[in-house]
Amino acid sequence: YAPTRCAAAQTSAEQGVLPPCHHHEAVHDPQLVPCTCPLYSCPWEGHLEVVVSHLRQTHCINILQGAEIVFLATDMHLPAPTDWIIMHSCLGHQFLLVLRKQEKYEGHPQFFATMMLIGTPTQADNFTYRLELNRNQRRLKWEATPRSVLECVDSVISDGDCLVLNTSLAQLFSDNGSLAIGIAITTSKVHNAEAEM
């Protein structure tokens, strides 16, 4: 059970809790990465190799381990825009799940979920992520290649290149205002074939 106004992630081994984030504008600089957690409209930016330590130290985000985890976003009724975010470590890399509630059309909020690799676009191409919603004898899956944090999460969401749920669909899969999203990350087939050679 996550406290009110918080987003939580769970694995069988551990549980991390963090509050929903609120949207901010990202700064685009090819050498520096803006803070990928919209918590408190953080103005930080830095090089790719220090993003994880910034998220852990400044925003106290726990890294959940394992190829498969379940992310539990609570308080789905919060007004848009709202972000939920969790860091996920597996296969030697760190990933961010960003779940955003946003109005594309006034009065019609939607939920957008995507995985971002804390790495380069070339590294991101080596992985596949799967998001799965499963409740009340219904199952919905989204599978794609993660995007790099060097790309702007706002553009991924505005392009709709992610799992998109309208409010009524989100309600079908939610339980008491919480949405459980199963996350699995695997290496892509191209990467596996190269590894076997």
The predicted pLDDT at position 176 comes to 93
Our measurement of the distance from residue 5's CA atom to the centroid of its chain's CA atoms, rounded to an integer in Å, reads 18
Is 153 inside any structural domain?
yes
The predicted pLDDT at position 189 comes to 64
Is 75 inside any structural domain?
yes
Q: What pLDDT digit, counting tens, does each position of 117-170 carry?
A: 999 999 999 999 999 999 989 999 999 999 998 888 888 888 889 999 999 999
CATH classification at residue 154: 2.60.210.10
Answer whether residue 62 shows pLDDT above 50.
yes
Q: Check: pTM over 0.85? Answer yes or no.
A: no
The predicted pLDDT at position 172 comes to 94
Is 55 inside any structural domain?
no
Is 177 inside any structural domain?
yes
Is 116 inside any structural domain?
yes
How many domains does the chain contain in total? 1
Is 4 inside any structural domain?
no
Torsion sign (Cα): 169, 163, 137, 19:
negative
Is 168 inside any structural domain?
yes
Is 30 inside any structural domain?
no
Q: What pLDDT digit, counting tens, does each position of 2-60 carry?
A: 222 333 333 333 333 344 444 444 444 456 777 766 555 788 888 888 888 887 778 77
The predicted pLDDT at position 42 comes to 80
Domain that holds residue 80: 63-187
d(CA 180, CA 138): 13
